[in-house]
Amino acid sequence: MKKPAFVAAGLLAVLLVSTTAGATDLALTADLGTTGVGLHMSIPLYKSLNARVGFNTLNYSYAGSTSDVNYDFKLKLNTVDALVDYFPSEGSFRLTGGLTYNGNKVDATGKPSASGTYILNGNTYTAASAGQLDGKIDFRKIAPYLGIGWGNPIRKESGWGFSADAGVLFQGTPSTSLTSSGCTAPSNICNQLNGDLEAENVRLHDKVNDLKLYPVLRVGASYRF
């Protein structure tokens, strides 16, 4: 997890501990899902409202492609949540909203074809002359979250409980960049390559544009102290 997320998580934890000093209504939830693995802390605000803060993190790799280029993608998930859970019937069903510090990002590396070439914007380049193709996909750092869930970790009795979340993280339109490092072709070919990379970056952006609405599905186990 990146340093800013560590700092944010630490500050949130200190805030919760300071506001709940002397109180026993406190629960921790360990969860797993599309945002990675994480830990959240809950405290009561009112009989039907809880505050919940925590973090999730996970790195994993996968393969993908645009119409022209194959890529190895590395997805790095790092989020810190500040959420409010509302229990409309004062039971286990909840409505959730809040803000998330969004450190999610994707690194992409272009993969040449079996013949050792790239086709970019209709032009063919050898991998040796084009150099390495590197892409980056970033999202806005503060993202709203809306969702529903099941389970109230702040129960009447202490002990273990179940938690589930389903919602959407509004990451916004992603920003993408695609560059080549180590072009060894003549300067006019390298200039052409840069122009073709701009066209390929548009395709890459279209490929990942659906990530502006990131689905959040989590299950977890909670413990009330």
Q: To the nearest 10°, report the CA torsion of 114, 120, 123, 128.
A: -50
Could you give the dihedral angle defined by the CA atoms of residues 8, 13, 18 and 20, in that order, rounded to the nearest 10 degrees?
A: 140
Read off the tokens for 143.
């993202």
Closest CA to 204 of 134, 147, 150, 153: 134
pLDDT at 7 over 90: no
- Is there a contact between 83 and 98 (Cβ–Cβ < 8 Å)? yes
pLDDT at 8: 53
Phi/psi of residue 134, nearest 5 degrees = -125, 135
Tokens 């279209």, residue? 206
Out of 2-11, 38-47, 99-108, 165-174, least confident range = 2-11
Domain coordinates in residue numbering, the chain? 3-224
CA–CA gap between residue 77 and residue 103 (Å, rounded)? 7
Q: What is the pLDDT of residue 67?
A: 79
* Inter-CA distances, 111 with 28, 40, 70, 132, Å: 43, 38, 5, 9
Q: What is the H or E stretch that residue 132 is in? A: strand 132-138
pLDDT per position as a tens digit, 116-161: 999 999 899 999 999 999 999 999 999 999 999 999 999 778 899 9
Q: Please state the pTM of the whole predicted model.
A: 0.82
Mean pLDDT of 27-38: 97
Look at residue 22 and tell me whether its pLDDT is greater than 70: no
Among the residue ranges 35-39, 82-86, 196-200, the one predicted with the least confidence is 196-200
Residue range 3-224 in CATH 2.40.160.170:
yes
Query: Can you give the pLDDT at residue 208?
Result: 86
Q: What percent of the chain has pLDDT over 70?
A: 89
Query: Rounded mean pLDDT of the chain?
Result: 89
**Residue-level pLDDT at 23:** 54
CB-based contacts of 83: which residues, under 8 Å, 6+ apart? 51, 52, 53, 96, 97, 98, 145
